[in-house]
Amino acid sequence: MHHGLNDVPRPTRRRRGAGRLIALLAAAGVVLAGCSAAEPAPAPEKEQRTSLTLGVVGELTSFNAATATGATAANRAVSALLDERLGSIDGSLQVVPNDGLGRITRVQGDPLKVSYELFTDRVWSDGTAVTLDDLVFGWAVSSHFFDDATYDVNGQVVSGTRYFDTAMPADPNARTARPIVDRADDTLTLTYDQPFADWNRQWLLDRPVHVVAQRAGVSVEELITAILTAPEGDPRAPAEPNPVLAAAAAVWNTGFDVAPGTTPDPASVVSAGPWSVAEVTADSLRLTRRDSYQGAHFPGLEGLTVRFFADRAAQLAALEAGEVDVANVGDLDVAERKTLTDAGYQVQVGPTTQTLHLRFADATASDLRQAMTLATDRSSLVQDVLGAMRPDAQPLQSFLSSTAAGQLYADLIAGNGAPGTGADVDGARNALGDRAAVLRLSYDTTDEVSAQVFSRLVSMGARAGIAVRAATPGDTVDATLSWVGEDESLYRSARDRLAEGIDGPNTDELFDDLTVHTDPVDVLAEAKEIDRSLFSVYAGIPLLERTGAVVAAAGVGGVAYTSEPDGVPPAFWTWSPPQS
């Protein structure tokens, strides 16, 4: 038994040594651990940016950019962000339907019938539904259906009533009958007096009718009833103003203005787009994304701040200081572009819708018009004036459009009769019968580009025996260098171009035909013929477009170029902040 108590073997000396070594190593490990540097704490994650700042030149004076006084670049920029419509214009001036809000459908060609549908779950930023009543009101504003005003030569009303003082005058070719509202089918239908090329640019949605009615002291039902029943205006028999329409018009004309020195209550700014106004200060507007928005333009950003600058110099200074993320900065020079790129900005450069034309006066002899056209080396002129910023710039080849219109322009100039872009000095001399001639040219001497072009025309004309001189007061002007703004519509561009200068043998008839085409293919074909008509009589020389630039801070994504000189870069819903 006692022997059994001693059966557990005692550890040998070697095993005791191994155990002691393990214990010593363990203890040493504890000591060493206490002496070594502590594990570094994980770096705090950088807070991801969710908003950007847009820089705009000008002052916010109205939340209605469609009025005669509210149509400023700054107000239009705000409108582009806040106002949802059934269509928009992209960076190449093409119409993009807004299928997230509703549909515009050409139901019939002649007579032209167009239907409008709004999706039922779309709401204004105050939660009120966007309805057909809003479209009815928008039609009343843009159609000038109720006006019976007569105007003097300066455009001032001398008798009758002009209700809605829109920046864009009523288009005589866009007249329609009173809209037909089918509430069971959720559609509004317009029937045009005649087919109209720009039917797909009549978007109707305007100020929220419930806000206009409330501020006018009437109900929405009273206002819509007045629009659907009041007689059409007749300037030959002006009537007493309709009190409901007059009250609504007074609100529309000035009720959305921002009085100098005041800041409106953000809650009073009701928008159809994906932003709500969170804060208004003297020089900024802070927007926040609204969760109730159900359209196709839901932004990736959670917020957007618009900063307003007194002038372009202040805008550029803010960019250089890193205070602005996105801006349309207009016509940069080489040094300004380098400063921005050195500061890390992405700079996109391209043509704008502002085009420079030499247009001959009606009384200018045809041989002089032909000779000056042949003497002008447009290729070298464009490279001299634009080459430093846009090495790929090409001379304009159309009276009606420009490269700012992208593929539309490329299609237009294919077979439109445009002359060559180089000079034919011998041809110019032959046109004049080798006699000397004088061309008195009027231009804006304060415009740098016009001044550069004028000096080059002087030297080009001289080679063909034409003395190009700056017209002085009292001179008979033979030609004018003039900047003209291109419209996104070929119809309106043609209308504006034909309002001045020489017409071709059948230009007016061609324009009449263009106006009543409702298929874009037919509009394009007619526009080509108008160009051919003008080129055939040497009506003028399309020269070049002014250059524009859109900048975005390093890492900012989704910002596209726009050819609109002061426009907000398109598709703000694709913009994204830098990723850390």
pLDDT of residue 1: 41
The two three-digit tokens of residue 16, written as one number: 């005791």
Separation CA 180–CA 398 (nearest Å): 40
**Tokens 């040094």 sit on residue:** 335
CA 28, chain centre distance (Å)? 74
Which residues, 6 or more positions from 490, have their beta carbon under 8 angstroms from its beta carbon? 197, 400, 401, 408, 412, 514, 523, 524, 527
The CATH T-level fold of domain 351-546 is: Dipeptide-binding Protein; domain 3 (3.10.105)
Task: Tell me the one-letter amino acid at 272.
Answer: A
Every domain range in the chain assigned CATH 3.10.105.10? 351-546
pLDDT of residue 27: 42
- Output 33 or 203, whichever has higher pLDDT: 203
Handedness of CA 561, 567, 569, 571 (dihedral sign): negative
- Inter-residue long-range contacts of 123-129, CB under 8 Å, 24+ positions, other chains counted: 123/292, 123/294, 124/208, 124/210, 124/270, 124/271, 124/272, 125/269, 125/270, 125/271, 125/272, 125/273, 125/275, 125/276, 125/290, 125/292, 126/208, 126/267, 126/270, 127/292, 128/208, 128/210, 128/270
The answer on pLDDT for 29 being more than 50 is no
The answer on pLDDT for 63 being more than 80 is yes
The answer on pLDDT for 246 being more than 60 is yes
- Inter-residue long-range contacts of 172-178, CB under 8 Å, 24+ positions, other chains counted: 173/197, 173/198, 173/491, 173/515, 174/143, 174/198, 174/202, 175/143, 176/139, 176/143, 178/145, 178/228, 178/232
- What value does the mean pLDDT take over residues 227-241? 96
Separation CA 245–CA 164 (nearest Å): 9
The answer on pLDDT for 328 being more than 50 is yes
pLDDT of residue 43: 54
Residue from 525, 517, 520 nearest 196 by CA = 517
- Output 580 or 324, whichever has higher pLDDT: 324
- Contact call for residues 360 and 538 (beta carbons, < 8 A): yes
Separation CA 530–CA 415 (nearest Å): 12
pLDDT of residue 18: 42
The CATH T-level fold of domain 266-349+548-574 is: D-Maltodextrin-Binding Protein; domain 2 (3.40.190)
Handedness of CA 317, 90, 145, 139 (dihedral sign): negative
Q: What is the DSSP letter of 173?
A: G
pLDDT of residue 495: 84
Every domain range in the chain assigned CATH 3.90.76.10? 83-255
The two three-digit tokens of residue 490, written as one number: 């070929």
Separation CA 213–CA 124 (nearest Å): 15
The answer on pLDDT for 332 being more than 70 is yes
Which residues, 6 or more positions from 451, have their beta carbon under 8 angstroms from its beta carbon? 443, 445
- What value does the mean pLDDT take over residues 327-346? 95
Residue 35 has phi, psi (to 5 degrees) of -90, -20
CB hemisphere CA count around 60 (13 angstroms): 23
pLDDT of residue 2: 39
- What value does the mean pLDDT take over residues 448-465? 97
- Contact call for residues 551 and 329 (beta carbons, < 8 A): yes
Every domain range in the chain assigned CATH 3.40.190.10? 266-349+548-574
Cα three-residue angle 561-515-411, rounded to 5 degrees: 45
Q: In the structure, what pLDDT confidence band is assigned to residue 3 with cuts at 50, 70 and 90?
A: very low
CA distances from 171 to 199, 232, 512, 517 (A): 12, 16, 14, 16
Name the least confident of 40-49, 202-211, 305-314, 556-565. Answer: 40-49
The answer on pLDDT for 366 being more than 60 is yes
Q: In the structure, what pLDDT confidence band is assigned to residue 279 with cuts at 50, 70 and 90?
A: very high
The answer on pLDDT for 61 being more than 90 is yes
- Contact call for residues 554 and 344 (beta carbons, < 8 A): yes
Would you say the pTM of this structure is higher than 0.85?
yes
Q: Write out pLDDT tens, residues 495-545.
A: 887 767 778 888 889 999 999 998 889 999 999 999 999 999 999 999 999
Name the least confident of 25-29, 249-253, 311-315, 524-528. Answer: 25-29
pLDDT of residue 502: 76
Q: In the structure, what pLDDT confidence band is assigned to residue 24 with cuts at 50, 70 and 90?
A: very low
Separation CA 303–CA 572 (nearest Å): 11
Q: In the structure, what pLDDT confidence band is assigned to residue 40 with cuts at 50, 70 and 90?
A: low
Which residues, 6 or more positions from 400, have their beta carbon under 8 angstroms from its beta carbon? 412, 490, 493, 494, 497, 527, 530, 531
Residue from 123, 77, 76 nearest 290 by CA = 123
CA distances from 430 to 14, 378, 438, 456, 486 (A): 121, 20, 16, 21, 34
Separation CA 58–CA 307 (nearest Å): 9
The two three-digit tokens of residue 124, written as one number: 């204004």
* Cross-strand partners of 480: 359, 442
Residue from 68, 59, 90 nearest 567 by CA = 90
pLDDT of residue 6: 37
pLDDT of residue 9: 39
Separation CA 72–CA 61 (nearest Å): 8
Q: Write out pLDDT tens, residues 371-381.
A: 999 999 999 99
DSSP run (H or E) holding 221: helix 220-229
- Mean of pLDDT over the chain: 90
Domain 83-255: give its CATH code: 3.90.76.10
- Peptide bond preceding 111 in cis form (omega within 30 of 0): yes
The answer on pLDDT for 41 being more than 90 is no
pLDDT of residue 11: 38
Name the least confident of 336-350, 370-384, 476-490, 498-512. Answer: 498-512
